Amino acid sequence: MTVLDDRPETAAPAPRRRPNRLLALLRNSWRQLTSMRTALILLFLLAVAAIPGSVLPQRGISPEKVNEYFVDHPDLAPRLDRIGAFEVFGSVWFSAIYLLLFTSLIGCITPRLRDHARAMRSRPPVAPKRLQRLPQHAVLPAPAGGAAAVAEVLRKRRWRVEVRGDEVSAEKGYLKETGNLLFHTSLIAVLIGVALGSWYGWSGNRLLVAGADNAFCNTRQQYAEAKLGPRVDSEDLPRFCLRLDDFQARFLATGQPEFFNARVTVDGPDEPTRSADFSVNSPLRLADASVYLLGHGYAPVIRYTDRFGRSQVSDEPFLTTGDSGLTSEGLAAFPDANVDPATGRRAPDEQMAFTGIYLPTAPQQAPFARSEYPTERNPALNLVAYRGNLGLDAGIPGSIYQLDQRQVRTGKVKEVGTKLLRKGETWTLDDGSKVEFLGTERYVTLSVRHDPGSTILLVSCGFLLVGLMGSLFGRRRRVFFRVMPADPAEGSPTGGSSLMEVGGLPRTDYPGFADEFAQIVAAVSGDERATDRADTDADSSDRAGVREGAE
Amino acid sequence: MSALSDNLVSFAILAYLVAMISHAVEYALGNARTRVAAAPVRELVGAGVGGGGASVPTPPAPVPPSGAAERSARRARIAGLVAVGATALAAVLHLAALVTRGIAADRMPWGNMYEFVLTVTFIGVAAWLVVLWKRPSLRKLGLFLTLVMVLLVATAELVLYVPIVPLVPALNSYWFVIHVSTIVFASGIFLLGAVPAVGFLMRAGYEQGKRSFPYTLAKRLPAAVSLERLTFALHAFAFPIFTFAVIAGAIWAEAAWGRPWGWDPKETWAFISWVVYAGYLHARATPSVKRNVATWLAVLGFLTMLMNLFGVNIFFTGLHSYGGLD
C-alpha cells in the first residue's frame, strides 16, 4: 500500500546561475520553517511551553496568587517574572512559538490551496501505461458498453470520471484535502477571532451592593479592575447603568450552593429601562456587553455615631474568605468621624475604622471565627475598633477592604477594643461614641465584558470541526480502466471478446481500498449480487471506524 | 440505590480481575503455538516497517502441532473466551453501576472525579468490546486493557469515592451534558487507544528482535501492523469528538465565566492534550516520521490526559474544581 506525503514535493529546477546567497538562505529558511518536521517540533514546543502556565500562578487569572508566590519565594519569583513565567500566554516566547507555527501553517497551506484549487478544476490524469504496477490490479472481461458503461458505473458512485478513448480515469476523495485545508484555514480564523477579541474587547469586574444608592454606570472608573483592549477608549464603552434589586441563593444542608439568581434594573441611554434576571450559566446579555454573575456575599450595614452625635453609615461589602460558610472579612472606615461641629475642623487623629469578620451563621460558642452555613441563621459581626489617622488622606492608593497596616505599625492608628455584635446591637466605645450593626445587604461580584471576536471564533470553530472530519475520514484514490483489444493470437479464455484491465491507486493511507476496489470491479463486471454484499460490508466497517482492511 | 451502585462497582472490579487472570492464563498457555510462529513474522514485518508501508505479513505456514501443544492451545482458547465473557459481564455490571448511580443522584453521573473515571473506563471497555466484535484476532490485547480497567476502576473506588451530592449551580446547565459527555466519550476512546499504542511499541520492538524485558511481554500480542492501525483508527475517531468537546466547553465557559478561553489549569492541559494528539495525527500522516515516534506521541497524549484528570484535580486549583477531593 502506498502512502503519499500530504505535502507535494516541490521539484525546484536546478539553478543555472550561481544564486544570490542571501536569497538562498532566505529560501532555505522558509522551506525549513514550512516543513512538517518544523511544524511538529513547534507543536511540541507549544505544548511544553503551556505547562508552566498551569503550574505557576498567572497574573491574568489570579494576581493575588502571584503576589503570594512572590512572598513565598522571594529569590526565585523575580527571576521567573523576568522571563514572563507569570504571564506565560502573553510572553514573548509563547507568542514566538505560536506565531512561528502559524507562519509555518500559512506557508504550508497557501501552495496547497493553490494546488487543490487547480486539482479541483482539473480532470483525472491519464492512465499509467502499466496498470499492473499499481497497488490494486485486476483483469476482467470488458463489459458490453465498453468504456462508456464503466464511466456510468463510476459516476453513479460519485467518482469524477474522464473517458479518453478506451481508457477511463477516475478520482474520488477530494474532500480529504478540502477538509484538511478548511481545518487549517479555520485555525487561522480562530487566531484572528482571538486577536480581534483582545484588541477591541473590554472587561471590568466589580462588586455591586443591593440598593438604589449603590447603582453603578458602565464607565471605567466604576470598576475595581478594568481591562480595555488597545483599540478601545473609555468613551467607547456602551452607556448603561445597573442596580441590584434582589439576590436569591439556596444552599444544601452541607453548605453547597444549589441556586443563584440576581435581579437587576438596567437603565441608560444605550439600553431600554427594564428589570432583568440573570444567574450563573445564564448571563445578562446587553446590546454590546454581557454581565456575568461570579460571586456573592454580604455587606454589613454599620452605623457609627461619633462623640458629637453625628452618625454615618457604611455598607461596604465584606469579602468572602473562600469557605463554604461564607465567612467574610472587611473594613468599615469613617474618615470624617469626630469632626467638631463647632469649628468644622477635621481631627485627623480621631478618624474611626472597624475591621471585622462577618459570620452569617455564627457557632453557638467561641471562637467566633468561622461561619457554619452560608445563609444568615445566626448572624454575628466580630468587630475590632481602631482610632487614629487612617492614612487615607496621604494620597497613596490603598484597599478599601483592608486597614492600612503601615498606620497601625507606626502607631498612628490604635486599637480601641473588640466586640461581637448581633444584628441590631449597639456597642458604646470608650469615648462615648456608638457603633450599631443594623443588618446586611447582599452584594454580587460581577464581570461585565464585551468580546467582538466571539462570533468569528464560534463560526470558525464550526468550520474547523467540519474540516477536521473531512481531513480524517476522507480518502483520496484513483482507479483506471483500459479496454484491451482482443488478441486472438494469445488464445484468450473469453473466446475472442476483449478484456479490460483495471488499476487502483490509494493516494492516502487507506487500508480498506482493496475492498472498495473489489466492489468496483464487481460492479463493473455486472455482478450486482456481489456488489450489494460488498456494500453492506463496507458500511458496517465504516461505522465501527476501526477498519483494518483486507489482509 | 447508591449502595447498590457501590456494590456493583465492586463486582465489576472482580469481574475485570477474573477477565485479566483468564487473559493471563491464555497468554501463558499460548506459549507452545506462538513460539513456532514468532520467527518468520519478525522478518516479514521488519521489512514492511522499514519501508514505511503497511505491508501485511502473511501468516506463517501452520506447523503441525504436537498433542500436548494442541491441548494447551485448546485450553488457551477456552481461557480467552472466558476472559472475553468476564469482560462483557464486567461491562454490564459497570454500566449498571453508572445507571444506578445516576438514578440515585437524579442527574447524569458525571458530577465529580469518581463518577468521571467510572464513566470514562466504561466507555473504554464498551469500545473495546466493539473492537473485539469487529476484529476478534486482537483478543490478546485484552490482558493489557483489563489491567488498565482494574487499576483505574479500583483507584476510583478506593481513592476518589465521594457520596452522591447534587450539582453545584455552575454545573447546572445543558452544556454540562454536552461538554462532559463528549469529553468522557473522547477520553474513553483515548484510554482504549493508549492500550494498542503501548502494545505496538512493545510488539514492534519484539518484532525487530529485541528480547529484553518490556518487549518480551509483547511476544503473544497481535502483529504490530494491526496494533498500529487500531491505534490510529481509535485516535482519529476520538480526536474530532475531543475537539468538539473542547469547543463546547469554550461555549459554556463563555456563558458561565464570561470568556471562552481563560487558561484555567484544566483548559491549559486540554490544550496541551489537543496539541499533542494533533501532533500524533500529523506525525502519522507524514511518511518521514517513523511510526514508533508517532505512536510515542499518542502515548504522551494519553499521559497528558491522565495529568489533566489526576494532576490538575489534585495539585492545582482552578475553575474546574469539581473533583470532590479535598
Rounded to the nearest angstrom, the minimum Cα separation between B197 and chain A is 14
Which one of B107, B168, B195, B246 would you mutate to disrupt binding with A, by most A Cβ within 10 Å of its Cβ?
B168
- Identify the pLDDT of residue A16: 60
Which one of A3, A36, A48, A54 would you mutate to disrupt binding with B, by most B Cβ within 10 Å of its Cβ?
A54
pTM above 0.90, yes or no: no
For B118-134, what is each residue's pLDDT tens digit? 999 999 999 999 999 99
A331: left (phi over 0), alpha (psi -120 to 50) or beta: beta
Amino acid identity at A85: A
Looking at the complex, does the CB of residue B16 fall below 8 Å from at least one CB of chain A? no
**Residue found by looking up cell 484491451 in the block:** A484
SS3 B279: helix
Q: Which of residues 78-117 of B touch A (CB under 8 A)?
A: none
Residues of chain B positioned with their CB less than 8 A from the CB of A252: 165-166
- Identify the pLDDT of residue B42: 42
SS3 A194: helix
Whether the pLDDT of residue A5 is over 70: the answer is no
CB within 8 Å: A3 and B53: yes
Residue A251 CA: distances (Å) to CA of A144, A256, A458: 79, 6, 34
Whether the pLDDT of residue A540 is over 70: the answer is no
**Contact status, residue B192 vs residue A284, Cβ threshold 8 Å:** no
Instruction: Average the pLDDT over A107-118 and give the result.
Output: 92
Q: Which helix (H) or strand (E) holds A387?
A: strand A380-388
Residue of A nearest to B294 (CA): A40
For A255-311, what is each residue's pLDDT tens digit? 888 889 999 999 888 888 999 999 988 999 998 899 999 889 999 999 999 888 889
**Contact status, residue A125 vs residue A87, Cβ threshold 8 Å:** no
Give the residue from B19, B5, B2 showing the smallest Cα distance to B89: B19
Whether the pLDDT of residue A28 is over 80: the answer is yes
CB within 8 Å: B56 and A294: no
CA distance A363 to A188: 57
Here the ipTM equals 0.84
Whether the pLDDT of residue B64 is over 60: the answer is no
Give the residue from A304, A299, A352 showing the smallest Cα distance to A330: A299
CA distance A440 to B85: 64
Helices B113-134 and B224-257 cross at an angle (nearest 10°) of 150
Residue of B nearest to A447 (CA): B258
- Identify the pLDDT of residue A13: 53
Span of B1-5, B43-47, B71-75, B103-107 with lowest mean pLDDT: B43-47
Measure the CA dihedral A105/A108/A111/A114, to 10°. Answer: -50
Across the interface, of A88, A461, A508, the residue whose CB is closest to B247 is A461
Model confidence at A531, pLDDT cuts 50, 70, 90, reads: very low
Looking at the complex, does the CB of residue B162 fall below 8 Å from at least one CB of chain A? no
Looking at the complex, does the CB of residue B63 fall below 8 Å from at least one CB of chain A? no
Model confidence at B325, pLDDT cuts 50, 70, 90, reads: low
CA distance B290 to B53: 11
Whether the pLDDT of residue A12 is over 80: the answer is no
For A208-221, what is each residue's pLDDT tens digit? 999 888 899 999 88
For A448-485, what is each residue's pLDDT tens digit? 999 999 999 999 999 999 999 999 988 889 999 998 87
For B70-96, what is each residue's pLDDT tens digit? 888 888 888 989 999 999 999 999 999
CB within 8 Å: B168 and A37: no
- Identify the pLDDT of residue B216: 83
Q: Which helix (H) or strand (E) holds B110?
A: none
Residues of chain A positioned with their CB less than 8 A from the CB of B258: 203, 283, 290, 292, 294, 447, 449
- Identify the pLDDT of residue B65: 53
Residue B186 CA: distances (Å) to CA of B191, B239, B240, B320: 8, 7, 8, 18
Mean pLDDT (chain B, rounded): 85
Instruction: Average the pLDDT over A57-82 and give the result.
Output: 88
Instruction: Average the pLDDT over B143-151 and give the result.
Output: 93
- CB-based contacts of B290, cutoff 8 Å, min separation 6: none
For B162-209, what is each residue's pLDDT tens digit? 888 877 777 878 888 999 999 999 999 999 999 999 999 999 999 988
Mean pLDDT (chain A, rounded): 85
